């Protein structure tokens, strides 16, 4: 093969040909564009950072406000619950005090009634003892100068009669010097009354009793 020598490139009178200058300008333009883009990115990054910080700060402020409002609402709710609890406790205490006072009044009434019943029982006991004394001892009657010996059980055997009332123990009785109870009535036929009291419902008058005597006994 034959090697043909190449002719050397012609040098540019200013040391750089047109193609190189064009490339250089494009490189410079690109560098400027890249620099401008970098500056824009930096500005945008700064704005984004500032906006993010502002957003985060505002978000924290909003969150703080929400927390404060929640604390206030919780405090108000606690205050309401505490007030309601205090009112309920006061009502329970008042009801308990009223109930206790009512129970005390009822207790005093029961005590008074019990005391009254005890007094009545003692009085009845005394009356029964007196009655027992009457029943176990002989009773001497002086009826219009006629003396009769009988018992309290006989004289009080028929309820709602004169002798049942007189010897009930409710009235004071006076004995004479002989220890007899004086009855201001005719004692001639008083034995018939005693016999009737000894056998109430079974005793009948004998046939020798006149109508006048029956009228006298009826009186």
Q: What are the tens digits of pLDDT across the range 91-145? A: 998 888 888 888 889 998 899 999 999 999 888 887 777 666 655 668 899 998 9
In degrees, to the nearest 5, what angle opens at C-alpha 171 toward C-alphas 166 and 175?
Answer: 80
Q: Average pLDDT, whole number, for the chain? A: 81
Band the pLDDT of 148: cuts 50, 70, 90: very high
What separation in angstroms does the CA of 164 have from each of 5, 32, 141, 156, 201?
182, 147, 14, 4, 16
Residue 47 has pLDDT above 60, yes or no: yes
- Read off the pLDDT of residues 157-167 as tens digits, 9 standing for 90 and up: 888 888 888 88
164, 158 Cβ separation under 8 angstroms: yes
CB-based contact 152:135 (threshold 8 Å): yes
Indicate the pTM of the whole model.
0.36
Mean pLDDT across 24-40: 83
Q: What is the pLDDT of residues 49-102, one digit of tens each?
A: 888 888 888 888 888 888 888 888 888 898 999 899 999 999 998 888 888 888
Dihedral in degrees, nearest 10, Cα atoms 181, 183, 189, 195: -50
pLDDT: is 44 or 9 the higher one?
44
Say how far apart CA 164 and CA 55 lie, in whole Å: 114
pLDDT of residue 39: 83
How much of the chain, in percent, has pLDDT values that exceed 90?
A: 12
Q: Residue 26's closest CA among 34, 38, 16?
A: 34
CATH fold, domain 137-203, is Potassium Channel Kv1.1; Chain A (3.30.710)
Scan for tokens 């703080």, then name that residue. 64
- What is the number of other CB atoms lying within 10 angstroms of the CB of residue 205? 13
Domain ranges of the chain: 26-136, 137-203
Q: Are 142 and 176 in contact (CB under 8 A)?
A: yes
Supply the pLDDT for residue 219.
44
**3-class DSSP state for residue 202?**
coil
pLDDT value at position 149? 92
- Gap between the Cα atoms of 212 and 84, Å rounded: 94
Confidence of residue 185 (pLDDT cuts 50, 70, 90): confident
CB 174 within 8 A of CB 217: no
Strand order in the sheet with 138-143: 146-151, 138-143, 181-183
- How large is the C-alpha radius of gyration of the chain? 68
Q: Quick one: pLDDT at residue 4?
A: 55
């Amino acid at each position: 093969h034959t090697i043909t020598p190449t002719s050397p490139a012609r040098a540019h009178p200013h040391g750089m040909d047109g193609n190189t200058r064009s490339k250089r300008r494009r490189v410079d333009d690109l560098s400027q564009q890249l620099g401008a883009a970098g500056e824009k990115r930096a500005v945008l990054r700064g704005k984004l950072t500032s906006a993010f910080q502002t957003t985060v700060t505002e978000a924290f402020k909003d969150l703080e406000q929400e927390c404060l409002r929640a604390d206030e609402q919780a405090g108000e709710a606690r205050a309401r619950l505490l007030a309601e609890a205090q009112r309920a406790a006061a009502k329970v205490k008042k009801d308990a005090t009223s109930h206790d006072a009512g129970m005390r009044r009822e207790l005093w009434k029961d005590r008074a009634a019990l005391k009254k019943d005890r007094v009545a029982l003692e009085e009845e006991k005394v009356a029964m003892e007196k009655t027992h004394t009457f029943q176990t001892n002989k009773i001497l009657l002086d009826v219009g100068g006629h003396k009769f010996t009988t018992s309290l059980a006989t004289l009080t055997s028929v309820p709602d009669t004169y002798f049942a009332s007189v010897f009930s123990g409710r009235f004071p009785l006076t004995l004479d010097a002989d220890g007899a109870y004086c009855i201001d009535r005719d004692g001639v036929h008083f034995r018939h009354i005693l016999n009737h009291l000894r056998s109430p419902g079974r005793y009948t008058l004998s046939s020798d009793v006149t109508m006048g005597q029956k009228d006298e006994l009826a009186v």
